[in-house]
Amino acid sequence: MLQIRRFHRLILPLSILFYLGCTTEIGSDENQSDTSSHRDRLKVLLTSQPQGLDYLPRSGTAESDEFRLLSLYAEARGLDIEKIYVDEFSKLIPALQSGDGEVIVNNLTVTESRKGQVNFTSPITYIHEQLVGRKGDTPKGAQQMEGRAVAVHRSAAYYETLKNLQQRRYQPPFEIIEVDEAISTDTIIKGVEEGTYDLAVVDSNLLRTLPEGNSIEIGFDIGVVRPVAWAVSKENSSRLDDLNDFLARHYLGADGDFISRGDLKTIKENKVLRVLTRNSSSTYYLWRGELHGFEYELAKRFADNHDLRIEMVVPPSRDLLIPWLEQGKGDLIAASMSITEDRQQKAIAFSRPYNTISEHIVSRHDDPISEVAQLNGRTVVVRRSSSYWQSLKTLQREGIKFKLIAAPEELETEELIDKVASGEFDLTAADSHILDIELTWRNDIRPAFPLQERQHGWIVRIKNPQLLKAINAFHKKEHRGLFYNVTYRKYFENSKRIQRHREERADTPANNTLSPYDELTKKHADHYGFDWRLIVSQMYQESRFNPMAKSWVGAQGLMQVMPRTGKEIGITRLHDPDMGIKAGVYYLNWLLHRFEPELDTGERTWFALAAYNAGIGHVRDARRLATKKGWNPDIWFDHVEKAMLLLAKKEYAKSAKHGYVRGEEPVAYVRQIRDRYLAYIELQDHNHIAMADWIIDAADVLPTQPMLPPVTE
């Protein structure tokens, strides 16, 4: 199942995880470089392991969980981790600022004051700040704090919370004891057990590490839910973007490093078909927030026929398509690949042909070249991995004397044609179906003469005969049938449509827009810490980018907010794009914080989206039903979503607190938003669009109350 990609809490003890690999103590005289390794190092700042600890954590530590996650990042990026230890928590940020390390991975809570000193990644988890004391002697509310004393580090995030609590008008007086920074949190807790300290405050994720049989008791939450994140310096924006990209892919299931070489049976168990392709007008592209492309539509129909969700995987360059397939980064290649003898010699298998094309030499419109003999003395630029390269090498062997230059593999054929039109390149080659697209909108190039006729096929690993058999059956049924013919004409013969799509494609360097409202979305999404692309995906699902949209139940605007909801948060002009987006993002933010902060970061997002569509009551009913069914109530896909579908049946709806719900709607809603969002990430990452933070900053959590707190227009 896909959930194997997800990060789970670990039970490895601190002593195992934190003493693997290279460690350095700031100020030590040991050589900090390992001359035996040529890999780049990622210097990670940590506090030293507490000395004299007489127990092992019962379920790992928060720091070890984070470190394991960072290890996955380092492994994916080919980095070696070097641990840089400081002796006090308060020295972590100064050490980062002075350049002793590159990232802090130490259960660091995000606060406004710390935001002024460092940049934080998207949240790793969320915590409660909890008052603790000895069992039977711990205040259960703020009104019971009179005369008590709370031990805390001044550098801790909850020091600020305690000071605010202390200054409340009706708060009974209590004392804050500032503990020496060199004394660890573990020692403070042990001191509470032994009576050295009266009370303490601990992050909720640290309490689970206490040994069984301890005498510590939780009193109450003293403040807001806070995010925990990694920190990098203000100057290191490239590392921040890369870490955020990794976290988004990891938590939301867009992990491009997921490896599987299984056949069709395994693919169906995973419920996802990973299709390797390239971003081009003939294969796969983004237009007005929706995914398009001849290969994409064929692959999606095949996936739908087998009840699979499609995931498009785009390598950085065309020459990586077959290696990525062999490595298990995709299940098949659907990228208008010509069937050639050279490719058939590899450990791959082509499907039956589904398209026949001619390769053509492409010249400028005023170039008189029109036959093979006129290639003598000319220069042709094509990718070495393309079938054109083999065709042109054959001509050279036959005695035609021209210069053949290998183009960069990341350039698509359309881009090479552009360079011919501009005069940067002399000649290139292209498949006839690509030329069909280009010639519908431009007149500065022309097909000079044909080289060779070829056929296209999809590619699978030779050890996946079940998948190959299913693909062959699909192409046999669909080729030149109604669906195929309509789709082919749409992409290669409809000149008006081709022109319109070319002008507004969102995944080209010249037009990095997903919607007409990208800038407004970025503004409001950034305020709450969402990735703006997630909001754009939801906006398309809600209104197809029509600000005047109105549903049959009365929802209005780009984000289809109900007027009653808008009124509760102080926004009435929902058809105004700015106000409509603001209301929708605000409401999604409010919904997300109705779910437990301890939940997996990505799952809270899916639950919030489901609640946006169906209502939070139905989502809670589905989670309760999932528990009864033995499914995981904390995971949306393949667990709670299955329970949501059951709530459309009378036997389940009658016992649900909120009754019947058309479960197909929220299930499809969340899946379609997720798939579109992951495609946005994939396509725009290849155009070097920086990743924005996408999960809510819990420091701005809204108070729990039946009515939404107001915002102003």
Query: What is the Cα–Cα distance from 322 to 337, expressed in whole angstroms?
Result: 10
**Residue 341: how many other CB atoms lie within 10 Å:** 7
Q: Which residues pair with 327 in a beta bridge?
A: none
Q: Which residue, chain included where needed, has tokens 């298998």?
A: 349
Residue 56 pLDDT: 33
- Mention every residue, 6+ apart, whose C-beta is less than 8 A from residue 250: 5, 6, 7, 69, 72
Domains annotated for the chain, with CATH where assigned, are 2-124+228-235 (3.40.190.10), 129-224 (3.40.190.10), 255-353+460-504 (3.40.190.10), 359-454 (3.40.190.10), 518-700 (1.10.530.10)
Residue 289 pLDDT: 61
> Could you give the 3-state DSSP secondary structure of residue 219?
strand
Q: Which residues pair with 83 in a beta bridge?
A: 23, 44
Token representation of residue 570:
């102080």
Residue 26 pLDDT: 58
What pTM, to 2 d.p., does this model score?
0.54
Q: Which residue, chain included where needed, has tokens 């280009």?
A: 438
- Mention every residue, 6+ apart, whose C-beta is less than 8 A from residue 473: none
Helices then strands, counting H and E runs in the chain, come out as: 27, 24
Q: Are strands 199-203 and 129-134 parallel, antiparallel or unpaired?
A: antiparallel
* DSSP structural state of residue 338: B
Q: Are strands 445-456 and 428-431 parallel, antiparallel or unpaired?
A: unpaired
Q: Which H or E element spans position 229?
A: strand 226-232
Query: What is the Cα–Cα distance from 390 to 512, expressed in whole angstroms?
Result: 34
Residue 234 pLDDT: 94
CA-based torsion, 85, 86, 92, 96: positive or negative: negative
Residue 626 pLDDT: 95
E-strand ranges in 426-505 read: 428-431, 445-456, 459-461
* DSSP structural state of residue 372: G
Query: What is the Cα–Cα distance from 360 to 449, expressed in whole angstroms?
Result: 6
Q: Give catalytic status of residue 542 as yes or no.
A: yes
Residues 584/559, Cβ–Cβ less than 8 Å: yes
Residue 210 pLDDT: 63
Residue 7 pLDDT: 30
Query: What is the Cα–Cα distance from 431 to 453, expressed in whole angstroms?
Result: 9
Q: In the chain, which stretches have pLDDT less than 50?
A: 1-21, 27-37, 50-62, 254-256, 687-707, 709, 712-713
The alpha-helical segments, DSSP class H, found in 199-236 are: 204-207
Q: Which residues pair with 184 in a beta bridge?
A: none
Residues 303/362, Cβ–Cβ less than 8 Å: no
Residue 599 pLDDT: 83
* DSSP structural state of residue 49: P
Query: What is the Cα–Cα distance from 539 to 522, expressed in whole angstroms?
Result: 13
Residue 251 pLDDT: 67
Considering only CA atoms, give the Rg of the chain. Answer: 29
Catalytic residue, candidates 82, 542, 603, 641: 542
Query: What is the Cα–Cα distance from 336 to 282, expressed in whole angstroms?
Result: 8
